[in-house]
Structure 1
Amino acid sequence: MSNAEAHIDDRPTKPAMLRGLRCKCPSCGEGRLFVKYLKVADTCPSCDEELFHHRADDGPAYLTILLVGHILGFVIHFMWVQFRPEPWVMATSLTIGAVALSLYLLPRMKGMVVAIQWARRMHGFGHNG
């Protein structure tokens, strides 16, 4: 294995993504990734890995909308076929479900995007070792 390959393989993507989904540091998996709801910590409190390089932008929001839309599409079909609720009941319950699911998934999607960037050494993550 060449030196360049060893340098790339020392940050496996899958474990980093799983750590990001748990809102943990992609490097050590111990420290919290966020200091607020969606504010990424500048450094990991456990391993001091620099995390401020991330450029998540609209990716997490797009992934959240994609997942929530697909999940709610199934739920709409299931509710209508099985229960035939009143339209206002269906609209109210689906709205609450969509908001709750979005609020739950958004930080996890952002954590995953930041972890992928860290693992692939994107946007300055490659300069810190």
Structure 2
Amino acid sequence: MSMQYPALPPMQTGVRGRCPRCGEGHLFDGFLTLRPSCEACGLDYSFADPADGPAFFVICFACVPSVLLGVWLEVTFSPALWVHLLVTAPFMLLTCIPPLRPLKGWLVASQYFYKAEEGKLARRESAG
């Protein structure tokens, strides 16, 4: 007899790095490495393939403002290189690295929730 689990929203589980099935176990081993399975319910995480999704979203939404800050700082004040190292570099690190884990967790949980899988070609039966 298999245990029934309630459907947990991906934002509730994935962003927190929790198992998308039970919400109790951990999704990650380290910062971005997925565990092989959930230690609480045993869900095999081999279905998960977020690929470059988290990095793409971070590039689109976090790196662009970081680059704009650096360009604005350079054009407006023409500061020395060390000012960029003290202002732009930490801003870029703080806006680009922390969102990676929650985004990856959300994408993995969304794959589970929506039963996403690799696309397959549909072939038509020949009439005749």
Is TM > 0.5 for Structure 1 vs Structure 2? yes
Q: Deviations over 1:98-129 (max 9, x none)?
A: 123322111111111101101011238xxxxx
Note if 1:31 corresponds to 2:25.
yes
2:7 maps to which residue? 11
Change (3 A) 1:18 1:67: farther
Q: Note if contact 1:17-1:26 (Cα within 8 Å) is conserved in structure 2.
A: no
- Amino acid of the residue matched to residue 11 of structure 1? A
Q: Note if contact 1:20-1:111 (Cα within 8 Å) is conserved in structure 2.
A: yes
Q: Aligned pair count? A: 109
% of aligned pairs identical? 24
- Distance in structure 1 (CA, Å) of the matches to 2:16 and 2:113: 16
TM-score by length of structure 1 reads 0.68
Gaps in structure 2 of 5+ consecutive residues: 1-5, 119-128
Change (3 A) 1:117 1:88: same
Tell me the CA shift for residue 62 of structure 1. Answer: 0.2
Q: Note if contact 1:11-1:120 (Cα within 8 Å) is conserved in structure 2.
A: no
Q: Greater helix share, 1 or 2?
A: 1
Q: Highest CA radius of gyration, 1 or 2?
A: 2
User: Where do 4+ consecutive residues of structure 1 move more than 4 Å?
Assistant: none
Aligned-partner SS, 1:116: helix
Q: Note if contact 1:20-1:115 (Cα within 8 Å) is conserved in structure 2.
A: yes
Tell me the CA shift for residue 67 of structure 1. Answer: 2.1
Tell me the CA shift for residue 28 of structure 1. Answer: 2.0
TM-score by length of structure 2 reads 0.69
1:1-129 aligned within 5 A? 11=7, 15-72=9-66, 76=69, 86=79, 88=81, 90-92=83-85, 93-123=87-117
Q: Note if contact 1:72-1:98 (Cα within 8 Å) is conserved in structure 2.
A: yes
Q: Note if contact 1:16-1:27 (Cα within 8 Å) is conserved in structure 2.
A: no
- Distance in structure 2 (CA, Å) of the matches to 1:16 and 1:66: 21
